[in-house]
């Protein structure tokens, strides 16, 4: 997995790189979102959303950010992996760190993103609710998920 064993805390100077990873990941997995909406969200990620969460990230051997997660109030608000690094266990590593060290056990996922949904089911999450619209009131339904109770004990062991 090439130097991805350490979880890093990104700095303000990393925000452009985090936003690059966010956009690349969204474009690879959120084919239901129009370009104009991705551009709007990209600006919000850079100027607002990154500041609203506790950030953790993975880096490659060249110290380039390969994935990141953001947590606030026990909820994983974002988890994005650079498409070039998908399938290497980075999402699982970030998710486990967020659950074990940041006490996160809930998240929302776009209903139209089957890859992410499958990933979270595999990691022990279950759907506990649904919203017809996303956080901006747009027609992109969200599924509200929580780590299953029996998973919480085993993941913290």
- Claim: this prediction has a pTM higher than 0.75: yes
User: What pLDDT sits at residue 1?
Assistant: 42
Nearest to 67 by CA among 98, 34, 38: 98
> Is residue 82 within 8 Å of residue 66, measured between CB atoms?
yes
pLDDT, one tens digit per residue, over 44-93 is 999 999 999 999 999 999 999 999 999 999 999 999 999 999 999 999 99
pLDDT, one tens digit per residue, over 134-146 is 999 999 999 999 9
pLDDT for residue 13 is more than 90: yes
User: What pLDDT sits at residue 157?
Assistant: 43
* % the chain with pLDDT above 90: 90
Instruction: Report the distance separating Cα 33 and Cα 90, nearest Å.
Output: 24
User: What pLDDT sits at residue 4?
Assistant: 56
pLDDT for residue 151 is more than 80: no
Nearest to 120 by CA among 142, 141, 95, 100: 95
């Amino acid at each position: 997995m090439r130097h991805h064993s350490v979880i890093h805390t990104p700095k303000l100077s990393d925000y452009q790189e985090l936003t690059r990873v966010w956009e690349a990941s969204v474009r690879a997995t959120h084919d239901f979102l129009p370009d104009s909406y991705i551009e709007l969200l990209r600006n919000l990620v850079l100027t607002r959303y990154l500041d609203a969460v506790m950030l953790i990230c993975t880096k490659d051997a060249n110290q380039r950010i390969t994935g990141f997660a953001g947590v606030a109030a026990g909820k994983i608000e974002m988890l994005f992996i650079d498409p070039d690094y998908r399938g290497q266990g980075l999402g699982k590593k970030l998710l486990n760190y967020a659950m074990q060290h940041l006490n996160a056990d809930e998240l929302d996922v776009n209903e139209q993103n089957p890859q992410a949904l499958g990933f979270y089911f595999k990691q022990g999450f279950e759907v506990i609710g649904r919203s017809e619209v996303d956080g901006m009131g747009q027609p992109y339904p969200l599924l509200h998920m929580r780590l299953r109770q029996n998973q919480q004990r085993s993941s913290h062991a």
